């Protein structure tokens, strides 16, 4: 018998079938499995880091579990779990020009994960069987056709990976942007005997106006007037005398379209004056034809209002935040790793980079990653929240994916699975749409609190703080003190503190200190009924800091709910100080002589709950809105409900109520009846506790089965939370900026202080910042000094 040690063939693959079969003589049949159609095969990246088949050395797929590892983690797995048979996968991208040798499996690809490209590309996949620890002895799988292990290798090679199958199934969720509302004037009444308009050569109908650009057509009577002038650059304005707005004020004909923006496809800049918004008009072609205009023959010649505004914002806000035009020095190494945008994921990337400014997250989820991942079966890594967090934070912290040239080809990480498991079950974060960074920060903090065992450490302790709420009953003069947990200090933008930046008051600034003072100022609560006197004379309330955390996250509430329930962004410059002192806002508790009101068993703002229920929302929905928009006002809570209207669980009982429901017993016989329909016992019990009747429970499951929360396997242990406290003086160490007009579109970037230098994290781009745009930020992270 030939000793395996004597046949080490170096880097060159074995070419002899007999030699290959000789090497397999001592491989036990229990060391590998043959995958079937239900097997999940992971081969896109290492289970424990972001090494891909394109990296040097490729990946090693365990033939027992079908999970993939880089060489480093493969060696750990082999030594710890006794795995010794692996399929090595090495991939490279090539143009489709030549036919390759038969042992190379080829697959057509467009863009290869990076997205669409015009160039036809192919991926060459090379598969070799290796037996640990002799990794240099590689057996091409085409030599194994006569051995059972060859069947396993061939099926792994020809099966679509589990990661890619999930991406394909979720691809329909990819979307970024905002939909215009259809105008209420779809069936607009147009005048009889309308004028017949030419297809081009228009000018403003006002005799004293000679404008032939920025012209709007009134769809009621065919009048053509110029629009308003707009700033389109530094000191540059578009031409316009606002004659169409004046015409609307005179005639009250509401619907207009900007001539020059009309495309044959029906896309155009349509505005409704009485709806005060840009709108969609499905009958635009019909309305234009009324004046002899043939939409199918019209060509776009001007930018729309939105395009002009976006151009202006991009030239200012986008350019400032991304520091366009600056020759920025790229940086590499630990804590300087970029995160690839995997589809409107910049809000996730920015939040993660900001948290890396906090040692607790770096140490507990990053440096402690091997301990966390050792406790997780590799087959469960892709669905494990602690595992994906450890994988991401460690890969960002260790610098393995941030190498200087010439070794920078594989820089950056793609947290596809992290995004999936952290967002799973959430109506917004489970999609590929752009989201609000502050809301995601809270969501991520909650996931860490509920899924990362406290035995590894409490990463959130550095951000967690208590606020003290003092309420004064106007009727009796009695007071009530309550405390609530917070992770973000929300600051309103006081309109009384706005300072014009330019003479025309088109942009304003506000001192951050004024926003802080406004957050801690006293506010009136209408409709408060005194539990002492029974009179409804209102109350006064204010918040203060009960504890000062190590790191304080501040949100400047740039997004405001308008009267039309549309969220709009306040484009103001915040005058930021690098060092702030919140000591004057520390709560001092009950004072001598104060008489206390009885305590309420609630942590929600009843004022906002009452206002929401008066709008017609259920109390369950209202309370959830308040709890999920901590620190926000009625507008924020209303926006949250409006976004969640399609969630079938919106009006369900609160978690505390569900806990009492879970203690209720259900009929085992009824559970079995529902299980016979294909539901799990957990789903059956959940539905029966909601509906009581088995038929109603079955109907509910058929309609809402997907919304049943995951079954809790481990008992919830109520561990006392840590609230650190100290000085109220802080210095700025990171901030997240948003570019765009809505939290659900646009772009986020993060600036962070690393080794006394401001670093710009713009997705996968990481560079030294020359002019950090602190005045434009949405979230500010301060460190206690």
Same domain, 166 and 221: no
User: Which residues are registered as beta bridge partners of 596?
Assistant: 479
In this structure, is the dihedral angle defined by the CA atoms of residues 422, 334, 555 and 582, taken in order, positive or negative? positive
Same domain, 34 and 164: yes
The 10 Å CB-count burial string (b at 16+, else e) for 727-746 is ebebebbbbbbbbbbbbbeb
pLDDT tens sequence across 374-392: 999 888 898 899 999 999 9
* Better-scored residue on pLDDT, 373 or 637: 373
Q: Which of 643, 664, 685 is at the close of a domain? A: 643
The pair of three-digit structure tokens given for residue 216, joined into one six-digit string: 């709007």
Interval 43-63 mean pLDDT: 94
The reply to whether 244 falls in a domain is yes
The pair of three-digit structure tokens given for residue 596, joined into one six-digit string: 């206390």
pLDDT at 674: 72
pLDDT at 167: 62
In 10 A of CB 707, how many CB atoms?
Answer: 16
- The answer to whether the CB of 470 falls within 8 A of the CB of 587 is yes
The pair of three-digit structure tokens given for residue 193, joined into one six-digit string: 């005997």
Interval 771-778 mean pLDDT: 93
The reply to whether 509 falls in a domain is yes
Confidence at 123, pLDDT banded by 50, 70, 90: confident
Mean pLDDT for the chain overall: 83
Instruction: Give the domain CATH number at 249.
Output: 3.30.40.10
In DSSP notation, 305-346 reads: HHHHHHHHHIIIIIHHHHTTTS-PPB--STT---B---SS-H
pLDDT tens sequence across 315-348: 445 556 666 556 789 999 999 999 999 888 999 9
pLDDT at 250 over 50: yes
The reply to whether 394 falls in a domain is no
The pair of three-digit structure tokens given for residue 338, joined into one six-digit string: 């970029």
Poorest-confidence range of 244-258, 553-567, 706-720? 706-720
Same domain, 34 and 134: yes
Q: Shortest CA distance to 132 belongs to which of 188, 76, 185, 213?
A: 76
Pairing of strands 104-109, 121-131: antiparallel
pLDDT tens sequence across 465-508: 999 999 999 999 999 999 989 999 999 999 899 998 877 667 89
Interval 216-238 mean pLDDT: 81
- DSSP E strands: which ranges in 260-311? 270-272, 277-279
Interval 409-423 mean pLDDT: 92
CB contact set of 254 (below 8 Å; sequence gap of 6+):
185, 220, 248, 272, 273, 274, 275
The reply to whether 339 falls in a domain is no
In 10 A of CB 388, how many CB atoms?
Answer: 24
Same domain, 142 and 247: no
The reply to whether 18 falls in a domain is yes
Same domain, 226 and 153: no
> Which positions are catalytic?
346, 747
Same domain, 35 and 128: yes
Q: Shortest CA distance to 748 belongs to which of 356, 176, 345, 357?
A: 345
pLDDT at 456: 94
Poorest-confidence range of 15-24, 398-407, 657-666, 770-779? 657-666
pLDDT at 30: 82
Confidence at 362, pLDDT banded by 50, 70, 90: very high
- With 0-12 / 13-18 / 19 or more C-beta atoms within 10 angstroms meaning exposed / middle / buried, residue 257 is buried
pLDDT at 98: 47
pLDDT at 729: 98
CA separation for the pair 409, 430 (Å, rounded): 30
* Better-scored residue on pLDDT, 9 or 496: 496
User: How remote is the C-alpha of 641 from its chain's centroid?
Assistant: 18
Q: Which of 610, 643, 676 is at the close of a domain? A: 643
The reply to whether 219 falls in a domain is yes
Please state the three-class secondary structure of 444-468 as a single string. Answer: HHHHHHHHCCHHHCCHHHHCCEEEE
The reply to whether 764 falls in a domain is no
Helix intervals (H) in 550-631: 606-614, 619-628
Same domain, 155 and 260: no
Q: What is each CA distance from 454 to 382, 458, 484, 769, in whole angstroms?
A: 21, 6, 21, 36
pLDDT at 618: 80
CA separation for the pair 338, 765 (Å, rounded): 6
- What percentage of the chain exceeds 90 in pLDDT? 48
pLDDT at 94: 73
DSSP code for 114: S
CA separation for the pair 60, 215 (Å, rounded): 63
User: Which residues are registered as beta bridge partners of 470?
Assistant: 481, 542
Residue range of the domain that includes 522: 465-548+587-643
Same domain, 169 and 255: no
The phi, psi pair for 750, rounded to 5°, reads -125, 140
Q: What is each CA distance from 115 to 109, 118, 218, 343, 349, in whole angstroms?
A: 10, 10, 42, 10, 19
How many degrees, rounded to 5, is the angle at CA 766 between CA 764 and CA 768?
Answer: 165
* Better-scored residue on pLDDT, 403 or 430: 403
The pair of three-digit structure tokens given for residue 238, joined into one six-digit string: 């578009």
pLDDT at 233: 54
CB contact set of 351 (below 8 Å; sequence gap of 6+):
437, 440, 441, 444, 736, 750
pLDDT at 55 over 70: yes
pLDDT at 639: 79
CA separation for the pair 45, 181 (Å, rounded): 42
In 10 A of CB 300, how many CB atoms?
Answer: 15
Q: Which helix (H) or strand (E) holds 417?
A: helix 416-423
Q: Which of 268, 303, 338 is at the close of a domain? A: 303
Same domain, 537 and 477: yes
Interval 747-769 mean pLDDT: 94
CA separation for the pair 518, 496 (Å, rounded): 10
Interval 446-470 mean pLDDT: 94
- With 0-12 / 13-18 / 19 or more C-beta atoms within 10 angstroms meaning exposed / middle / buried, residue 593 is exposed
- The answer to whether the CB of 66 falls within 8 A of the CB of 85 is no
User: Which residues are registered as beta bridge partners of 182?
Assistant: 280
CA separation for the pair 145, 646 (Å, rounded): 53
pLDDT at 277: 84
Count, residues in the chain? 785
Same domain, 23 and 157: yes
CA dihedral 353, 354, 358, 359 (to 10 degrees): 10
Instruction: Give the domain CATH number at 520.
Output: 3.90.70.10
Helix intervals (H) in 619-727: 619-628, 634-643, 655-662, 668-675, 681-691, 694-704
The pair of three-digit structure tokens given for residue 525, joined into one six-digit string: 């609560």
User: How remote is the C-alpha of 97 from its chain's centroid?
Assistant: 40
Count structural domains, the chain: 3
The reply to whether 533 falls in a domain is yes
CA separation for the pair 130, 152 (Å, rounded): 13
| Residue position matching structure tokens 């979720």 | 170
* Better-scored residue on pLDDT, 699 or 517: 517
HSE on the CB side for 170, CA within 13 Å? Answer: 20
Best-predicted range by mean pLDDT (578-582, 610-614, 687-691, 745-749): 578-582
The phi, psi pair for 166, rounded to 5°, reads -65, -40
Same domain, 481 and 629: yes
HSE on the CB side for 396, CA within 13 Å? Answer: 30
Q: Which helix (H) or strand (E) holds 131?
A: strand 121-131
pLDDT at 664: 52
Same domain, 169 and 24: yes
User: How remote is the C-alpha of 109 from its chain's centroid?
Assistant: 27
């Amino acid at each position: 018998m030939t000793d395996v040690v004597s046949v080490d063939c170096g880097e060159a693959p074995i070419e002899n079938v007999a030699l290959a079969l000789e090497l397999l003589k001592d491989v036990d049949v229990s060391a590998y499995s043959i995958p079937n159609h239900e097997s999940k095969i992971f081969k896109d990246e290492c289970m424990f880091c972001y090494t891909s088949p394109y990296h040097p050395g490729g990946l090693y797929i365990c033939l027992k579990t079908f999970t993939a590892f880089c060489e480093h983690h493969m060696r750990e797995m082999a030594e710890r779990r006794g795995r010794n048979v692996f399929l090595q996968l090495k991939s490279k991208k090539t143009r489709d020009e030549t036919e390759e040798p038969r042992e190379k499996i080829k697959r057509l690809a467009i863009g290869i994960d990076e997205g669409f490209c015009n160039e036809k590309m192919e991926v060459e996949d090379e598969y070799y069987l290796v037996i640990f620890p002799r990794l240099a002895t590689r057996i091409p799988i085409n030599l194994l056709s006569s051995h059972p292990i060859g069947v396993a290798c061939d099926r792994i090679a020809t099966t679509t990976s589990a990661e890619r199958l999930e991406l394909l199934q979720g691809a329909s969720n990819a979307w970024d942007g905002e939909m215009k509302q259809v105008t209420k004037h779809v069936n607009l009444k147009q005048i009889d005997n309308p004028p017949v308009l030419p297809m081009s050569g228009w000018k403003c109908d006002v005799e004293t106006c000679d404008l032939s650009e920025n012209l709007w057509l009134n769809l009621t009577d065919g009048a053509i007037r110029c629009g308003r002038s707009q700033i389109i650059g530094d000191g540059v304005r578009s031409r316009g005398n606002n004659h169409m707005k004046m015409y609307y004020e005179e005639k009250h004909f509401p619907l207009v379209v900007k001539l020059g923006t009309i495309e044959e496809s029906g896309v155009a800049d349509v505005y409704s004056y009485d709806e005060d918004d840009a709108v969609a008009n499905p009958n635009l072609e019909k309305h234009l034809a009324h004046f002899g205009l043939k939409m199918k023959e019209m060509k776009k010649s001007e930018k729309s209002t939105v395009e002009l505004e976006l151009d202006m914002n991009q030239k200012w806000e986008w350019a400032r935040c991304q520091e366009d035009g600056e020759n920025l020095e790229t940086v590499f190494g630990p804590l300087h790793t970029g995160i690839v945008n995997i589809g409107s994921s910049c809000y996730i990337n920015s939040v993660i980079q900001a948290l890396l400014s906090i040692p607790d997250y770096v140490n507990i989820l990053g440096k402690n990653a091997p301990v966390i991942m050792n406790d997780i079966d590799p087959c469960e890594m892709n669905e494990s929240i602690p595992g994906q967090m450890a994988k991401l934070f460690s890969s960002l912290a260790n610098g393995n994916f941030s190498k200087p040239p010439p070794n920078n080809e594989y820089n950056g990480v793609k947290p596809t699975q992290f995004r999936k498991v952290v967002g799973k079950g959430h109506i917004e974060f489970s999609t590929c749409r752009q989201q609000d960074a502050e809301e995601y920060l809270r969501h991520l903090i909650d996931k860490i609190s509920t899924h990362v065992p406290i035995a590894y450490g409490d990463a959130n302790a550095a951000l967690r703080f208590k606020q003290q709420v003092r309420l004064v009953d106007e009727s009796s003069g009695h007071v009530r003190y309550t405390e609530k947990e917070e992770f973000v200090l929300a600051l309103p933008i006081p309109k009384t503190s706005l300072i014009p930046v330019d003479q025309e008051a088109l942009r304003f600034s506000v001192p951050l200190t004024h926003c802080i003072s406004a957050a801690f100022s006293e506010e009136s609560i209408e409709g408060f009924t005194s539990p002492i006197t029974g009179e409804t004379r209102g109350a006064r309330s204010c918040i203060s800091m009960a504890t000062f955390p190590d790191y304080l996250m501040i949100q400047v509430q740039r997004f405001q709910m308008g009267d039309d329930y549309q969220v709009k962004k306040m484009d103001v410059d915040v005058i930021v100080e690098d060092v702030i002192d919140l000591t004057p806002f520390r709560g001092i508790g009950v004072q001598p002589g104060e008489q206390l009101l009885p305590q309420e068993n609630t942590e929600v703002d009843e004022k906002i709950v009452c206002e929401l229920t008066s709008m017609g929302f259920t109390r369950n929905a209202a309370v959830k809105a308040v709890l999920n928009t901590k620190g926000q006002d009625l507008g924020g809570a209303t926006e949250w409900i409006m976004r969640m209207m399609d969630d079938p669980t919106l009006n369900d009982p609160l978690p505390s109520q569900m806990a009492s429901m879970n203690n209720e017993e259900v009929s085992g016989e009824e559970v079995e009846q529902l299980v016979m329909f294909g539901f799990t016992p957990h789903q059956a019990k959940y539905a029966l506790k909601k509906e009581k009747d088995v038929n109603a429970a079955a109907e509910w499951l058929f309609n809402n089965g997907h919304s049943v929360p995951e079954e809790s396997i481990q008992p919830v242990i109520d561990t006392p939370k840590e609230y650190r406290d100290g000085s109220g003086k802080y210095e700025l160490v990171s901030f997240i900026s948003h570019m765009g007009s809505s939290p659900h579109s646009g772009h986020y970037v993060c600036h962070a202080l690393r080794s006394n230098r401001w670093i710009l994290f713009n997705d996968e781009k990481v560079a030294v910042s020359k002019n950090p745009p602190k005045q434009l930020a949405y979230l500010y992270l301060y460190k206690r000094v």
